[in-house]
Amino acid sequence: MMRSSLFLALTLALGGGAACIGTADAQTAREVRKQTEASMTLSGVIDIGRDGQVEGFQLDHREKVAEDVATMVDGTVKAWRFEPVLVDGQPVRARTTVQLRLLADNLAGNTMQVRVTDANFDKVRDENNLGSDDIRALNMRPPVYPDKAASIRGQGVVLLLVKIGRDGKVADVIAERTNLTSVGPGRTMDMLRDVLAKSSVKTARNWTFKPPTTGKDKDAEFWTVRIPVHYAFDSKKERYGRWSAYIPGPRQQAPWITGEDEKATGTDLLPEGGVYMVGRNDGPRLLTPLG
């Protein structure tokens, strides 16, 4: 449990006018707050021992994170245990990057509970991997900020599932999920999700990619990738270490077979600007609960 300084930061994040869109009466505002969680996304580097234990953890930009939050994250990550990383059948020390989502809830007086609820682990670093096993973007022009969203300073992240044909062109695309970081009346948030999703899908249909030329997936009939599209008025650097409203949207299923494990985690935490192949588990496998 964490006390007053964190409570105040969260109150400002969720109660300040900058985080709100549209207008709402008291009843509507209460309903919106029921859907709203306080979220913070952090990143770092984990060193994994031969037995899968965490030998070290370095939180990125620690100076931008409240000390009580940073201490909690340190303790949580260092208690994790991974499946040992094998090279030629032998366990080795490894290093992975991690993206973490923290959620704050259970407000009571001036206290709250903060917990790690999701994590995304990048592939273990391999200096010999040149990326030819992966889908790579050739033309991925970002969408224009929709006028309807910009006029109300609506912000969010659209997770796209993109089906790529063997010619590198987009065969199909859906907005898998649209998570908002602006709070407003239900109808306004529904409208915002719709315009952000449609803008992303329309632009993505013209993207082109270079298919993999090596590896086990090179002869596939098609490939599915997940691409996050961010709509925000402040930079990623400015957002780091800050609490913000987080209203997760409903998840849509792709009309094609993606091959993804139903238990896959971290899909809402993919870094901006990346192309992430679905159904491939390149990162280390966490054996213990997140915390």
Q: What is the DSSP string of 172-215?
A: EEEEEEEEESSB--HHHHHHHHHHHHHHHHHHHTT-EEE--SSS
pLDDT in tens, 172-201: 999 999 999 887 888 999 999 999 999 999
161 and 82 in one domain?
no
242 and 148 in one domain?
yes
Residue at which a domain ends, from 88, 121, 154: 121
- HSE-up of 187 (CA within 13 Å, CB side)? 5
pLDDT at 18: 36
In a domain, 286, yes or no: no
144 and 255 in one domain?
yes
DSSP label at 247?
B
In a domain, 291, yes or no: no
Percent of the chain with pLDDT over 70: 78
Percent of the chain with pLDDT over 90: 56
pLDDT in tens, 263-286: 666 677 787 888 988 977 678 999
Total domains, the chain: 2
108 and 164 in one domain?
no
In a domain, 64, yes or no: yes
> In the predicted model, is pLDDT for residue 246 greater than 90?
no
In a domain, 290, yes or no: no
Residue at which a domain ends, from 90, 121, 152: 121
230 and 204 in one domain?
yes
Q: Is this prediction's pTM over 0.75?
A: yes
For residue 214, give its domain range: 136-277
Query: Which of 32 and 126 is assigned the larger pLDDT?
Result: 32
